[in-house]
Amino acid sequence: MKLLFSLLLISQFLFSNNNHPIILIHGFMGWGQDEMGGYNYWGGKNDYIKILEEEGHTIYQVSVGPVSSNWERAIELYYQIKGGQVDYGKKHSDKYNIIQKPENKVYDGLYPEWDSSNPVHLIGHSMGGQTARMLQYLLDHEIYEEDEDHFEKSILLGSSSKNLILSITSISTPHNGTTLANIVKKTIPFIQYFVGLAGVIGTNFYNFDLEQWGFKRAIEESWPDYIYRMRTHDAWKTKNISSWDLSLSGADELNTLIGISPDIYYFSIITSTTKKKNNSKFHIPVKGTSIITRTRAKILGSRTGHWANGNETDSSWYENDGVVNSISMYAPSSRSNGSDPSVKYSGGEPLMTGQWYWIKLYSMDHWNIIGHLGGKNRDSRSREFFISHANRLKLLPQK
C-alpha cells in the first residue's frame, strides 16, 4: 500500500506544473477592474492579481452582474472568458421578461483559446463559488429547449462542452445559503459593506450591470437614487435574482440542479470569525473581527434561518464569518441529492477529481480572506493563502 501511495504521489508531480489560467469571480455586490478606482476587489489596497502574476501565474478577473442570478452571472462569465455576445437564452429571457442579448454585453474574450485542451481554474469568492458551479452545469448540458422556435442556437446553451474546467475553488461560498438572507428580508443583504466606499471614491465607476432588465444609471442620477431604483425593481420579486440564490431554499434548488463533475478538482475554503459563547450554544465574534463585520457576526451567531417548507436551522449554523454560516461553505447539499462528497485537505495525499477538499481558516472573516478590513495578521494570512493555493492549482495533473 505504501508503495502504491508513493507511485501515485510521484506520478502526480511528474505530470504536474500545468500553466492554465486562473479566473477570479467576485461575489455579491462585487466589482471588476477599475470599477472602484484604485481599490481592488481582490486585495483591497493591495493588488492580489499583480502579486500572483509576479509569482508566475496567469490571472484574469471578470466583472459579472453584482446582484444578478447565478444563471445570468455564469453566462456573462462564459462570454467574458471566451468572447462573444452574451445570450441569456430565449426561454429564460421570455420567462423573466429580460433582454436576451444586451447590446453592450459583447466581449473580445480574456482567453479566446479556451477549450478542452486549454482549460481554466475557476476561483469564486462568496456567490462567485455558486456562479462557477452554474457555469460548470451550463457547459456540461445542452439546453434542448433553446432549439424550440429559435433560429439561431445559443453558443453556450445550445451544446455541451466537456473538460473546459480543471478545478473549481469556492472561498467563503454559501453553497447551502446563508441565514443572513433570511434575516434581512426584502433588502439587499451585505450591501452596507461597500456602498459607503463606492460613494466616497466616486460612483461613476460602479455599475450594477443590469442592462438585461433595461436598467441603467441616469445622467446626473445620485448614488442613493440609483441604489433605491435597483432595490425596488420588480426583479426582486422573482427567483431570477441574487437574493433567491443566496437564500436557504434558493441554494437548495440550485444544488438539486447542479451535480458534482467526476472530471473536476474541487476546493472549498471555509472562513470563521466567531467562537461559541461561554455556557451558551450561540456564537460571538472573536478578537480581531472588524467593527463592520461584528454586528452581522452576532446576528448570524444567534438567530435561526428557515427553508420555504418551514424547517429551521439548528445550532450548527451559528458559527460564521460575518456574512455566511461556516457550515454552508463545506460542500453543496440538497434535500433530494444529499451532500457532495468532501474531505479535509491534508496536503500530502494525491488529489482526486469529483470530490471537495476543504480547508478551514479560523479568525478570518468574509472580507479579510480577500484582503479587506483586516489587520496586519489577517492581511498577511490572506496573501499567503492566495499564493499557496495558486501554487497548489499549478501542481494539479494536466488532462
Contacts of 43 (CB under 8 A, 6+ apart): 49, 51, 370, 371, 383
233 among known catalytic residues:
no
Q: Contact 383/48 with Cβ under 8 angstroms?
A: yes
Q: CA–CA separation, 289 vs 297, rounded Å?
A: 9
Alpha carbons within 13 angstroms on the beta-carbon side of residue 279 total 0
321 among known catalytic residues:
yes
DSSP lists the bridge partners of residue 267 as: 169, 357
Contacts of 50 (CB under 8 A, 6+ apart): none
Pick the catalytic residue from 209, 245, 321, 340: 321
Q: CA–CA separation, 222 vs 271, rounded Å?
A: 35
Q: CA–CA separation, 65 vs 394, rounded Å?
A: 29
366 among known catalytic residues:
yes
- CA distances to 6, 9, 127, 177 from 2, in Å: 6, 11, 40, 41
Q: CA–CA separation, 368 vs 318, rounded Å?
A: 19
Q: Contact 354/260 with Cβ under 8 angstroms?
A: yes
Q: Which three cell numbers stand for residue 210?
A: 443590469
Q: Which three cell numbers stand for residue 284?
A: 460571538
Radius of gyration of the chain (CA): 20
Pick the catalytic residue from 68, 69, 126, 382: 126
Pick the catalytic residue from 26, 92, 125, 366: 366
Q: Catalytic residues, which ones?
A: 126, 321, 366
